[in-house]
Amino acid sequence: MTTRRTGLPLVAVVAAAVAVVSVGLAASPLRPATAAAADTPLAGAQHVLDARVEAVATGDKAAWMATVDPQASAAFKDMQSNQFDGLRQLPLQTYKLTARLDDTGDLGSAAAGRYPGATAVFLPETRQTMRFRDYDDRDDVEALWLTFVQRANTWRVASDTDAADLALDTARFLWDLGPLSVQRTDHFLVVSHPAQASRAMALAALGEQAMTTLSTRWDRPWSHRLPLILPGSIPELGQLLDSTLDLSKFVALVTYGAVRDTGYEVSAPRLYVQDTNLSRHDQAFQTETLVHELDHAAASNLAGPFVPVWVHEGLADWVAGGDSTTERRPRGSDGRLPRDAEFGAGSQASIILNYNEARSAMSALAAAKGRGAPSALFAEIGSHRVEPGNEDYVINRALERVAGQSLAAFEAYWARR
């Protein structure tokens, strides 16, 4: 499973620049995973996960906490308590937990020494599948790295950080990190901490304006529904995104995943706001920023592993800036379309230049082939999920289909403008 993170830098370009959870009988505290349920560690772990799903469905926090190892750290127990409370506040249409060995096998041997007295330690991938009613048109799919320990013939969850040394980090959610506020508008599920609830709704109001603007410029169908998540700080945003980017340079990001084992099926998008920066700007800037991010969300169902960042960001910036057909290559450009790494590394000025280059490339494409060409290029590249050759090979073929010219010819055409 891979994740695409798209976003705007701090000085963003402006006009001038599955099983459905069902409610049943109340869940009882976790029963020992004995007999058939204990035949294998995988079956024991799945027994625990099924108990957790049932606990969320029925609102039985005692049953949820009974799946946690009594010897787990206080911090882990607190996070598990927060997680349950948050999950119960969310409009869950789908919530499913599945233990898997398909990709990583059992990583438990590396953590066995951390659990004295346990008769067994098991660490598979736990795949979480979640969908918000009325706001997701497809599932959000994330990897959790839960450690299961067996004591007295009963499996429980003891940690979710034991795989971090292998660069396998459990997905974090705002509801893991403290009290949750969940509010709704016509197009946004607004998720924040209570202290940020008022600001989160103000952002959603701007988002509604941005949605109206996007609807006049985006020419492809999409759900027009999106979770808007406002973290309490930049470090908290870093936890949620597990990002190596310097998030102090950004104002907002959209994330979504691609599940490789289902043919790079794209998961549900989420909009995160880095409000320490965004709030410093005027309303027009904030609204245009949200148009940019909403375009990322709208295009997400067309995305694929070969779409380069200059197409992702160029398309979103071009739509947000008014879909011009007259923008020229920016001053200071070297006449080369920017590579992916250039959007997250380097100085603030160089990152902004890359965004300007990408946006002007979309303007050039629209001038040559019409305003529908940028989204058509995105969709054409995104339709290729498994393909021989590298990214440039796929982009070259897509440009030949959409614009009738090779990547080299298009780059030269854009550089001359």
25 vs 213, which has greater pLDDT?
A: 213
Residue 13 pLDDT more than 60? Answer: no
Per the domain annotation, does 365 fall within a domain? yes
257 in the same domain as 154: no
271 in the same domain as 194: yes
SS3 assignment, position 397 = helix
Q: If you average pLDDT over residues 10-37, what whole number do you get?
A: 34
314 in the same domain as 347: yes
185 in the same domain as 160: no
Residue 321 in tokens:
């800036």
338 in the same domain as 235: yes
Q: If you average pLDDT over residues 224-230, what whole number do you get?
A: 98
81 and 65 Cβ atoms separated by less than 8 Å: yes
Residue 24 pLDDT more than 50? Answer: no
Q: How confident is the model at residue 23 (pLDDT cuts 50, 70, 90)?
A: very low
Mean pLDDT of all residues in the chain?
A: 90
pLDDT score, position 1:
45
pLDDT score, position 22:
26
Q: 102-130, pLDDT tens digit by residue?
A: 999 999 998 989 999 999 999 999 999 99
248 vs 357, which has greater pLDDT?
A: 357
Residue 274 in tokens:
């880095």
Q: 187-220, pLDDT tens digit by residue?
A: 999 999 999 999 999 999 999 999 999 999 999 9
398 in the same domain as 320: yes
Report phi then psi at 229, rounded to 5: -115, 125
Per the domain annotation, does 4 fall within a domain? no
Per the domain annotation, does 30 fall within a domain? no
275 in the same domain as 212: yes
Pairing outcome for strands 226-230 and 270-273: parallel
Per the domain annotation, does 215 fall within a domain? yes
Residue 297 pLDDT more than 70? Answer: yes
- Domain enclosing residue 61, as ranges: 35-171
- Is the pTM of the predicted complex or chain greater than 0.95? no
Q: 50-88, pLDDT tens digit by residue?
A: 999 999 999 999 999 999 999 999 999 999 999 999 999
Per the domain annotation, does 13 fall within a domain? no
Among 121, 153, 171, which residue terminates a domain?
171
243 in the same domain as 94: no
Rounded Cα distance between 278 and 276, Å, is: 6
219 in the same domain as 151: no
Residue 326 pLDDT more than 60? Answer: yes
Rounded Cα distance between 320 and 322, Å, is: 6
373 in the same domain as 246: yes
Q: What percent of the chain has pLDDT over 90?
A: 83
Per the domain annotation, does 1 fall within a domain? no
pLDDT score, position 8:
55
Token look-up 């499996």 returns 155
Among 131, 147, 171, which residue terminates a domain?
171
Q: For residue 411, what is the domain's CATH number?
A: 1.10.390
Per the domain annotation, does 192 fall within a domain? yes
Could you give the number of structural domains in the chain? 2
Q: What percent of the chain has pLDDT over 70?
A: 91
Among 171, 202, 225, which residue terminates a domain?
171
Q: How confident is the model at residue 20 (pLDDT cuts 50, 70, 90)?
A: very low
130 and 94 Cβ atoms separated by less than 8 Å: yes
255 in the same domain as 209: yes
* Best mean pLDDT range from 112-116, 203-207, 259-263, 390-394: 203-207
Q: For residue 71, what is the domain's CATH number?
A: 3.10.450
What Rg do the C-alpha atoms of the chain give, in angstroms? Answer: 23
Q: How confident is the model at residue 11 (pLDDT cuts 50, 70, 90)?
A: very low
336 in the same domain as 254: yes
Q: How confident is the model at residue 48 (pLDDT cuts 50, 70, 90)?
A: very high
Q: Of 220, 277, 219, 227, which Cα lies nearest the Cα of 247?
A: 277
Give me the long-range contacts of 110-117 (CB less than 8 A, separation at least 24): 110/162, 110/165, 110/166, 111/147, 111/159, 111/162, 111/163, 114/159, 114/162, 115/69, 115/71, 115/147, 115/149, 115/158, 117/71, 117/151
Per the domain annotation, does 12 fall within a domain? no
